[in-house]
Structure 1
Amino acid sequence: MVNKFVSQSLDEIRFWSRIMKEHALFLSLGFSYNDSKLIQEAQHYIDVFEKVEEQLSRYSSNTDPQVIRNFNSQVYQSAVSIWAYKRKVLGLVLRCEVRSNNYPLLVDHISREAAYFANRLKELNEGRLKPLPEAIIKENVFFLKIMADHAKFIGHLLDPSERKLVAQAREFSHDFDQLVFQAIDLDSMRPQSETKPILDQFLDQNRVSVVSLRDFKKTARELIEACKIKSNIHPLLADHTFREAERFLAIIDMFEDKLQSGV
């Protein structure tokens, strides 16, 4: 159990610290040269999470759990801090005090991910475990919304002349919006352990859709890297969204294993 706490903590920090660092980069690229203070703040968070990654490299699954608990607390503060920065930027954009190439929904999107990261670290340190059915549904609501957002961003950042890819992105956006609504409906029903078949079907359906979107992102990433399609999508952003789809699939795998084992 101790090793599991350590390994899960390191895994969360390894994945999400890189995501946070890239968020700061994307924000900085979206500001105008007049927004030098905001750009400097973004660079500060790039530096913060690079230091987290450097510190992370010193730890392993054999590290003292108390050391990792302290590390989680430290990274938690960084996650909360970048969340506050992102919410500040969102407020500035919505009030038209800053003109950014980052959509308000995108800024809100990345702030939700920072909040998720901070919450995961807090849960790990507190040793809190949600009832499995509730955890499955709430986690899926979060990630399905992330996937729906990605499809919208891709559709809007592709050049309008890329009609086929734009149409595919819009289809994914619609499909994942429907999955979000379906997950919210299921959450309101508060299924108990005897509804395992419903949860099995729920995860299977989500897996099929996420695999399809993941493959679309993989193709788009390869085309963007090879300069074979026209878009405003940074190659790192294409890879970023691909990795988050892979993460969601890994979480679906984890939940399915737990359902099968009855843990």
Structure 2
Amino acid sequence: MSNEFVARSLEEVRFWSRIMKEHSLFLKLGFRCEDTQLIQEANQFYSIFEQIEGKAHSFTEAADPAQIQRFNLEVHAAATHIWAFKRKVLGLIIQCKLPGGNNFPLLVDHTSREANYFRNRLEELNGGRLDPLPDAIIHENVFFLRIMADHAKFIGHLLDPSERQLVEQARNFSHDFDQLLFQAIDLSGMRPQSQTEPLLGQFLDQNRVSVASLRDFKKTARDLIEACRIKSIIHPLLADHVFREAERFLFIIDAFEGALTGKQAGA
């Protein structure tokens, strides 16, 4: 355990606890008014992750690593519980037990994948286990490319159909990121032969360009929604939420490229 462990743990928890908190709100907004038990559970998760987020910001990088390890276990339990809640909700929707609700099955599945990612990250940090760089690059990109493709689909479905140009742009992003995801899955299937620095470097460069373009589209959509300049049923917080996740993916891509570059420089 070290200061690096503390810094990385706090950074992950601060980011993802806010995401989990917001998921709770979005799910609640999609329930029917008669779904009082589900609404209550969503409110409880909102409160839990709001407290976790606040606690994470109260720590500094000088905190005792053992204390942060215990905190990660606490957060892991909360992430596991909200993952189970999301999977329960998904089952209810797919079995047509919540007719008339406004939560897309893919959106609920999407949020559960993010909860599972979060708890896996906490397990890796507490166990001192991290994938070797080539594996990590491919795994993270497969995960986030699918997240980005989902976002484009959600935006396209939540914009008013009369916003034809924006809807078409969202559909194009959905198609582009589906293709990037398939390419990433192909690269993963070719491992370990595909794990060369030139191929991984090109992989990151290509994804960065596309993610930056989607990030800019999300920022424009967010700003237009906040200014009430377009027609949609997208909550302003959801628009900012998906923008922040694109920013997160760009941060991860840059970190991976820096690690690759450093390895090449030291060779």
- Asked if TM exceeds 0.5, the reply is yes
Point out where structure 1 has 5 or more consecutive residues left out of the alignment: none
Q: Distance in 2 between matches of 1:125 and 1:194?
A: 27
Q: Residue 209 of structure 1: CA displacement?
A: 0.1
- Superposed, which structure 2 residues align to 1:166-181 within 5 Å? 166-181=167-182
SS in 2 for 1:57: helix
Q: Distance in 2 between matches of 1:129 and 1:108?
A: 25
Q: Is the 8 A contact 1:151 1:169 kept in 2?
A: yes
Q: Distance in 1 between matches of 2:210 and 2:53?
A: 32
- Whether 2:85 is the aligned partner of 1:101: answer no
- Whether 2:156 is the aligned partner of 1:155: answer yes
Q: Distance in 1 between matches of 2:132 and 2:191?
A: 11
Q: Residue 50 of structure 1: CA displacement?
A: 1.0
Q: Is the 8 A contact 2:187 2:194 kept in 1?
A: no
The aligned counterpart of 2:32 is: 32
The aligned counterpart of 1:199 is: 200
Q: Residue 58 of structure 1: CA displacement?
A: 2.0
Q: Is the 8 A contact 2:27 2:103 kept in 1?
A: yes
Question: Structure 1 131/163 Cα, relative in aligned 2: closer, same or farther at 3 Å?
Answer: same
Q: Residue 194 of structure 1: CA displacement?
A: 6.5
Q: Distance in 1 between matches of 2:30 and 2:59?
A: 34
Q: Residue 25 of structure 1: CA displacement?
A: 0.2
- Whether 2:255 is the aligned partner of 1:254: answer yes
Q: Residue 131 of structure 1: CA displacement?
A: 1.6
2:262 corresponds to which letter in structure 1? S
- Superposed, which structure 2 residues align to 1:201-216 within 5 Å? 201-216=202-217
RMSD between superposed Cα atoms in Å: 1.1
1:53 corresponds to which letter in structure 2? E
Q: Distance in 1 between matches of 2:218 and 2:194?
A: 35
The aligned counterpart of 1:46 is: 46
- Superposed, which structure 2 residues align to 1:99-248 within 5 Å? 99=99, 100-191=101-192, 195-248=196-249
SS in 2 for 1:69: helix
Q: Residue 196 of structure 1: CA displacement?
A: 0.3
SS in 1 for 2:196: helix
2:173 corresponds to which letter in structure 1? F
Q: Residue 56 of structure 1: CA displacement?
A: 1.4
Q: Distance in 2 between matches of 1:8 and 1:103?
A: 33
Q: Residue 192 of structure 1: CA displacement?
A: 5.4
Report the TM-score, using the length of structure 1 for normalisation: 0.98
Q: Residue 3 of structure 1: CA displacement?
A: 1.1
Q: Is the 8 A contact 2:22 2:46 kept in 1?
A: yes
Question: Structure 1 193/32 Cα, relative in aligned 2: closer, same or farther at 3 Å?
Answer: closer
* 1:120-153 deviation line (CA, Å, top 9, x unaligned): 0000000002121111001000000000000000
Q: Is the 8 A contact 1:86 1:108 kept in 2?
A: yes
* 1:171-191 deviation line (CA, Å, top 9, x unaligned): 000000000000000001113
1:49 corresponds to which letter in structure 2? F
Q: Is the 8 A contact 1:141 1:180 kept in 2?
A: yes
SS in 1 for 2:160: coil
How much identity, in percent, do the aligned residues show?
68
Q: Distance in 2 between matches of 1:256 and 1:214?
A: 19
Q: Is the 8 A contact 2:188 2:194 kept in 1?
A: no
Point out where structure 2 has 5 or more consecutive residues left out of the alignment: none
**Higher mean C-alpha deviation, range 202-211 or range 185-194:** 185-194
Report the TM-score, using the length of structure 2 for normalisation: 0.97
Question: Structure 1 226/259 Cα, relative in aligned 2: closer, same or farther at 3 Å?
Answer: same
Q: Distance in 1 between matches of 2:3 and 2:54?
A: 21
Q: Is the 8 A contact 1:10 1:56 kept in 2?
A: yes
* 1:54-107 deviation line (CA, Å, top 9, x unaligned): 211221100000000000000000000000000000000000111320100000
* 1:165-220 deviation line (CA, Å, top 9, x unaligned): 00000000000000000000000111359610000000000000000000000000
Would you identify which runs of 4 or more consecutive aligned residues in structure 1 move more than 3 Å? 191-194
